[in-house]
Structure 1
Amino acid sequence: MDLIQIDENGLHLVFEKTEDFGCKLLHFSALPFDERSLLHVHDRETGGLRLNTERYNLLEIMISGQNRPGERHGNKYISTSPGDRMKLVYFADKHNEFGRKLEIHMEDKICGIETISHMQFYNGVQAVRCWTDVKNVGTEPQGLEYVSSFALTGIEKEGMLSTDDKMRVWYPHNGWQREMQWESYTFPQLGLARCQPEEIQRSSKVIGATNIGNWSTKEYLPMGLLENTETGSNLFWQIEHNGSWHWEISDQMGNFYIQLSGPTETESHWWKNLQPGETFTTVPVCVGSTLGKFDDAMGELTKYRRMIRRKNADNEKLCVIFNDYMNCLWGNPTTAKELPLIDAAHKAGCEYFCVDAGWYADGFWWDNVGEWLPSKERFPNGLEEVMDYIRSKGMIPGVWLEIEVMGICCPKAARVHPDWFFTRHGKKVHDRSRWQLDFRNPEVVEHANEVVDRLVRDYHVGYIKMDYNIEPGIGTELNADSVGDGLLGHERAYLAWLDSVFARYPDLVIENCSSGGMRIDYAMLSRHSIQSTSDQEDYLRYASIAANAPSGLTPEQSAIWSYPMKGGGREEAVFNMCNALMQRIHQSGHLAEIPEEDFTLVKEALDYYKTIRGDIKRALPFWPLGTSHFADTWVSLGLKTAHKAYITVWRRGAPDGRCTLPVDFLRGNEHVNVRCAYPANHNTKCAWNPEKGTLTVDLPAPICARIFELEY
């Protein structure tokens, strides 16, 4: 075998150059390569066994009109054509500012296409960013139906046990008010049990996840984890796209594979008619591997996310934001209501104050959004009075915005050309009494720029909560090869617009919000410094979302609501603050009206936060009790640095107030000092057991939360 072996940052990759000039990816793992793990099949000519790597395609690509002569594949993206016949042109091994970079150039002369498979390493991170360029170098258009950003066969090959017994797939279920809820499954539980002799295992069954539309995370986060419980290794991934995406795991010719991509024809109505001379680039994906469990994988992913993110001051400062919406003004702001809230937020120690929805309309505002002009009825002396008052208190003002839509009652909607909006079957696409703006249209971009420029120029806004509350579906037919092509074009145009805004206003903080967490993806989060994690209105349930949030994004980007209620009492106020203290604080609630004792606990929490936020931005997450479910009576989240760990523990109705939490990475360490850090008057006992590596805590009330510090 003619092999190319790449060992970088704890990852081991092996490529094969075949005799017929193909290029195969044989291995991608934190485990070293062992050729004996490759599948050997019966050779009918010799009667012996032979090595079979023909299905280990580095790239799968499907072009219209091409035959798929291989095995029974159903809708699986295997036996693609010309994917099966791509030939290696050259293999480039480079270095750049981020680290090592591989570029594998291949071609298919029948269709007249050339491809480059990119693999970008990042120094010190066990993860790789992958994407594919497809160029039409022929004389005829070629219809793209599918292009993989990453493809790997043999994901099960390490170890002796059956895939039924050793492989587990971790899914991050996501949904409105129930974001980032992880579950793990065996292959048989998902309908992919072994049913044939190992060397011919194949079926039409696929497991995986798909998103269709512009809310990228309305059912799942675009990520996952595959665990080999026998070898202690894992493979993890994320798809970095703000729209339609697809990943799948299935079997072919005795092996199992994984493939990651953006939009596809079968799933998401995407088809691209690639013209001669034109290049299409897939959405980027991240793939990594560690020896360890879920926590180890999420740690590497956290480091990777920090590497690819736009450099910005917000993720260095981690300022405290007050927002007047959640369990507070509920989208009904006025000058009279805002002024006492501004005073209270300033007194508590907030550093930004955001006026949420409703500031642009006299009454019901949902279906007339789009012009973004302040309501004179709500603000008799102008919005400037409120913005100036915020600044007079030493805070930076912000407003809520939903720039991608226009309400059906917006006066401006009647004055603009219909090509401003998504269209299907000759009709403008409605959703929830709004129309979707198409950012491929230069006039739409001009409109969006005018709104942002006016807010910054006239009202000195330094924070925008950029919300997005509709799902326009599969795309738009205007100026597109397919509705999915139109959607992809819009999404990429929107990202380009965001880049231009940050170029003009590098210090402007723009929060990514889509009905809470409906677009928690790293196309958006490589640009936005902060993300709304949920619209969850119940602080008890929010604890599960808060605990799991660092799996979906970095802690310093993860905005968690804290909203102490007017009649909640001491432990309710502490619980609310503990929800947010180890990530980004979205403070809300009627701070001007809650009891003084509760307000004091809020201020204590914000003062404490300012002493630890320097650690939050470099810490890695861990989960002593595993990821949380809504029914759990005990919930925990940890953040660890080189010399200190922080652990939030929530008690939600557990009858016994004692909980023991494993902290595996400190097992055997006798020099661990533990204290309850918040609140100061905590009535809480805690103890460290170095031999077992466990923290035991006694929480004094059935509904109760505390934050502990472990120094080592």
Structure 2
Amino acid sequence: MATAEKPTEITFSNDVVKVSLHVDEDGSVYFQDILPAGAPPRAQGTAHFASSATPLCEVRLSGERNSQSKTSKALVGSYVGTRLKYKSSSISHQARQKVLDVTLHDEQTGIAVTCHLTLFDGISVLRSSTTIHNEGKKDVVVTQISSLVIGGLTRFNEWWSEFTVSSATNTWFREAQWHERSLPDVGLDDVGVYQLDQGHLAPMSIFNVSNRGTFSTQGHLPIGMLKRRDNAETWLWQVENNGSWKWELGDWKDDIYLALSGPDSNDHDWRQKLSPGETFTSATAAVCHLFGDADAAFGALTQYRRRIRRDHPDHQHLPVIFNDYMNCLMGDPTDEKILALVKPVARSGAEYFVIDAGWYADDNDWWDDVGAWEPSAKRFPMGFGSLLDRIRAAGLQPGLWLEAEVIGTRSAEADALPPEAYFQRDGARVVEKNRFQLDFRHAAVVARMDGVVDRLVATYGVRYFKFDYNIEVTQGTDVDCSSAGAGQLGHNRAYLGWVAGLLDRHPGLVIENCSSGAQRMDDAMNAVHTLQSTSDQQDPVRYAAIAAAIHTAVAPEQAATWAYPQPGWDDETNALTVVNALISGRVHLSGRLDLLAPRQLDLVCRGMHVYKEMRRDIAAAVSFWPLGFAKWHDDWLAAGLRVVDGGGDGSGGERGAGKCYLAVWRRGGQESCELPISFIMGSKDVAISLLYPEMPGTKLEVAGSGLRATIPSKIGARLFSISWS
């Protein structure tokens, strides 16, 4: 269906959500609402909701900054945004999804902007991106283009007291840590809103979270949440770009707006020149709005993540992966060390054996010498192929670690490619931590790395790659592009295309996304890569706070979490590191399995057996957090996986028979903790089973408005199965 005749309202829906756009008399378009299917229109509690609406798209061109009273540091208030008028709209139907395209036109410059809105069957999440097309006769330079802008989020007269905003810090060793704040605490308040002189639409306050550089999630996850204090309404959003991005909340007249964006000029040195006839498409973004709590919103987002990613059999099979790095060989593999591990690894129940860093170097001084990606004859005198044959003979599939995007400054390969194949600024090659950054826009880079991967697959039968990335380039590259930020974005997109090409040629290959743990844990990467490393944290007790919150960032069946038992740890600590991985959804086994006592190895084997029994449910499960999102220093943590039948989005309200897995950690404090779990309450028959580990004194029982967990040890973790009817 397509129409060029100007409507007053455009509606767009699937079976669970309805999207409404309004077109005013002048042809400006803005979001009217995003609501669960069947929900009545929200009451317009503010006095002048219409003035709280923001343009459907915000675009800034070079030289044009701020057209209205909001600061030009904001993502709203652009000249082009106010000039864009309705031109046409169409709805197309694709496999299990539909797309609404709304095209707007700016008569002054001749540019056309098409907003692409996508809904997937059965999922209450809206996906959005924006394409700009220069239909004029002159070049234009775009300095900002939004992925999604929505005004009038709350419809509350006192929105500043009724809602809170949450964001997640994400740093090396301390990933996915959520922080909730009041709106006044981030500078969004009623002060001055109702005392502004006529014509002023808002004060200059904004709250934004952004990232610049090749570590897309270093510092923060590209995710945010706005929810009512009574948990009756939640907005949840994310930006999907494996580089620079930004999201912001701000007050606009009588309410709050949300704006999501990839790189822009202000924060990321991004500018895109468009000659007549040329186009550019923004980063994608997604938003969910429902009348429920954070658990329900993340349930919907989890199912959305499953829908947008590349299909791979690994997501259903969920094999156990052993990797020899963390708290094990730590980048120093040899024939002798690997062979000592093979037998206990096979006995543990692992299905892959991944040789991590160091396999290509004769000694440990390899950081700035990487790039040839040939196995070391000194480390593996029996022959690398023979070693991998021994791994296969034990029933394990071999895998390797690789940093595809860098070449060390001391490497013999450092000058093997044309100068334009590396990131540059002002004619100088970018150097970061004694590595050069390769630019995957260049055909020679793609050809070289295709050759490396194809050779390792063909010669050695490698079936798994851990693609790591351990430098952060904030400079971008100014080679063959409009700006350094545009060069970086081009590389980001070309890299994803390269990985997709590998999987096209090698469909059974498993490719893990790792970047100093989880410094690129975004949904552009996870939509292409098979699974995601969650941290490089080496302390299992601290890791528990990451494991308990990681499903806010990645689907359970992609969340690769370390379990690294040690011979010097007690049984409670070794069991805790296993529980971390069991509830996260993907086991990344490591640790000195070769040095464990038989009793200790049996404890690990029991954990892997439990995982293989529960993994059949993980790919259709959504997460819940009885104690809220884990805090880094909390004594008690809890996280669960609720099995969702029939592929529902888990967006809340389901009752009746059900099943879930619940992990509980004690890291101090009293020996018991109350756990409210609303969807179990009211059930007549609740069956609770302790799955792992079987330690004396452990209890989980119905008590009051929830469950009560008891763990006698001050440091311990338990995994339970709960069913109810």
- Tell whether the structures are fold-level matches, with TM greater than 0.5: yes
Residue 465 of structure 1 corresponds to 466
CA gap of 1:336–1:231, structure 2 versus 1, over 3 A, is closer
TM-score by length of 1: 0.95
Where in structure 2 are the equivalents of 1:531-610 lying within 5 Å? 531-582=532-583, 583-610=585-612
Question: Quick check: 1:132–1:282 contact (8 Å CA) kept in 2?
Answer: yes
Deviation at 1:570, TM superposition (A): 1.2
Residue 716 of structure 2 corresponds to 704
Question: Quick check: 1:29–1:235 contact (8 Å CA) kept in 2?
Answer: no
| Partner AA of 2:44 in structure 1 | S
Map Cα deviations across residues 133-163 of structure 1 (whole Å, 9 max, x no partner): 1111111111101111100011122x34x12
Question: Quick check: 2:417–2:445 contact (8 Å CA) kept in 1?
Answer: no
Q: Does 1:651 align with 2:657?
A: no
CA gap of 1:673–1:491, structure 2 versus 1, over 3 A, is same
Q: Does 1:402 align with 2:403?
A: yes
Where in structure 2 are the equivalents of 1:635-674 lying within 5 Å? 635-642=637-644, 643-654=658-669, 656-674=670-688
Deviation at 1:419, TM superposition (A): 1.4
User: How many equivalent pairs are there?
Assistant: 698
Larger CA deviation: 386-395 vs 4-13: 4-13
Question: Quick check: 1:668–1:693 contact (8 Å CA) kept in 2?
Answer: no
Where in structure 2 are the equivalents of 1:372-383 lying within 5 Å? 372-383=373-384
| Partner AA of 2:590 in structure 1 | S
Aligned to 2:414, what secondary structure does the other structure show? helix
Distance 2:182 2:296 in 1: 20
Distance 1:485 1:120 in 2: 25
Larger CA deviation: 71-80 vs 194-203: 194-203
CA gap of 1:620–1:36, structure 2 versus 1, over 3 A, is closer
Larger CA deviation: 314-323 vs 191-200: 191-200
Aligned to 2:593, what secondary structure does the other structure show? coil
CA gap of 1:33–1:486, structure 2 versus 1, over 3 A, is farther
Map Cα deviations across residues 488-520 of structure 1 (whole Å, 9 max, x no partner): 010111011011001001110010000000000
Residue 45 of structure 1 corresponds to none
Aligned to 1:444, what secondary structure does the other structure show? helix
Distance 1:231 1:621 in 2: 17
Question: Quick check: 2:469–2:514 contact (8 Å CA) kept in 1?
Answer: yes
Residue 244 of structure 2 corresponds to 244
Deviation at 1:81, TM superposition (A): 2.0
Distance 1:360 1:683 in 2: 49
Unaligned residue ranges in structure 2 (runs of 5+): 1-6, 645-657
Residue 73 of structure 1 corresponds to 71
Q: Does 1:14 align with 2:29?
A: no
Q: Does 1:299 align with 2:272?
A: no
CA gap of 1:384–1:193, structure 2 versus 1, over 3 A, is same
Alignment match of 2:186 (pick from 190, 213, 216): 190
Deviation at 1:98, TM superposition (A): 2.4
Deviation at 1:451, TM superposition (A): 0.7
Distance 1:413 1:466 in 2: 19
Q: Report the RMSD for the aligned CA atoms in angstroms.
A: 1.7
Distance 2:569 2:52 in 1: 64
Where in structure 2 are the equivalents of 1:458-497 lying within 5 Å? 458-497=459-498
Deviation at 1:658, TM superposition (A): 1.4
Distance 1:516 1:421 in 2: 24
| Partner AA of 2:403 in structure 1 | E
Aligned-residue sequence identity (percent) comes to 37
Deviation at 1:573, TM superposition (A): 1.3
CA gap of 1:22–1:657, structure 2 versus 1, over 3 A, is same
Residue 37 of structure 1 corresponds to 44
Question: Quick check: 1:127–1:286 contact (8 Å CA) kept in 2?
Answer: yes
Alignment match of 2:135 (pick from 134, 137, 145): 137
Residue 166 of structure 1 corresponds to 162
Q: Does 1:510 align with 2:511?
A: yes
Distance 1:197 1:354 in 2: 58
Deviation at 1:697, TM superposition (A): 2.1
Distance 2:701 2:26 in 1: 64
Residue 84 of structure 1 corresponds to 82
Question: Quick check: 1:214–1:243 contact (8 Å CA) kept in 2?
Answer: yes
Residue 126 of structure 1 corresponds to 124
Where in structure 2 are the equivalents of 1:431-446 lying within 5 Å? 431-446=432-447
CA gap of 1:152–1:504, structure 2 versus 1, over 3 A, is same
Distance 1:56 1:268 in 2: 24
Distance 1:670 1:63 in 2: 62
Deviation at 1:397, TM superposition (A): 0.2
Residue 46 of structure 1 corresponds to none
Map Cα deviations across residues 598-625 of structure 1 (whole Å, 9 max, x no partner): 1100001101110110111111100011
| Partner AA of 1:194 in structure 2 | D
Residue 452 of structure 2 corresponds to 451
Question: Quick check: 1:38–1:154 contact (8 Å CA) kept in 2?
Answer: no
Distance 1:380 1:21 in 2: 73
Deviation at 1:229, TM superposition (A): 2.7
| Partner AA of 1:248 in structure 2 | E
Question: Quick check: 1:652–1:704 contact (8 Å CA) kept in 2?
Answer: yes
CA gap of 1:230–1:665, structure 2 versus 1, over 3 A, is closer
Distance 2:464 2:290 in 1: 38
CA gap of 1:365–1:197, structure 2 versus 1, over 3 A, is closer
Map Cα deviations across residues 471-493 of structure 1 (whole Å, 9 max, x no partner): 11131011110000000010111
Larger CA deviation: 183-192 vs 194-203: 194-203
Residue 217 of structure 2 corresponds to 217
Residue 44 of structure 1 corresponds to none
Unaligned residue ranges in structure 1 (runs of 5+): 42-50
Aligned to 2:608, what secondary structure does the other structure show? helix
Residue 707 of structure 2 corresponds to 695
Deviation at 1:36, TM superposition (A): 5.2
| Partner AA of 2:663 in structure 1 | T
Distance 1:524 1:36 in 2: 39
Q: Does 1:179 align with 2:181?
A: no
Distance 1:527 1:258 in 2: 27
Distance 2:609 2:696 in 1: 16
Q: Does 1:277 align with 2:277?
A: yes
Larger CA deviation: 147-156 vs 247-256: 247-256
CA gap of 1:197–1:251, structure 2 versus 1, over 3 A, is closer
Distance 1:274 1:706 in 2: 57
Residue 207 of structure 1 corresponds to 207
Distance 2:442 2:613 in 1: 46
Deviation at 1:681, TM superposition (A): 5.0
Aligned to 1:287, what secondary structure does the other structure show? strand
Question: Quick check: 2:468–2:515 contact (8 Å CA) kept in 1?
Answer: yes
CA gap of 1:700–1:94, structure 2 versus 1, over 3 A, is same
Distance 2:482 2:503 in 1: 31
Question: Quick check: 1:12–1:33 contact (8 Å CA) kept in 2?
Answer: no
| Partner AA of 1:675 in structure 2 | S
Distance 2:45 2:587 in 1: 49
Deviation at 1:223, TM superposition (A): 0.8
Aligned to 1:411, what secondary structure does the other structure show? coil
Aligned to 1:461, what secondary structure does the other structure show? coil
Distance 2:465 2:680 in 1: 41
Q: After TM superposition, where is structure 1 displaced by more than 6 Å over at least 4 residues in a row?
A: none
Distance 1:267 1:312 in 2: 36
TM-score by length of 2: 0.94
Aligned to 2:249, what secondary structure does the other structure show? strand
Distance 1:176 1:308 in 2: 27
CA gap of 1:413–1:188, structure 2 versus 1, over 3 A, is same
Map Cα deviations across residues 403-426 of structure 1 (whole Å, 9 max, x no partner): 000000110113332212101122
Map Cα deviations across residues 93-152 of structure 1 (whole Å, 9 max, x no partner): 332212232111111121111111011101111101100111111111111011111000
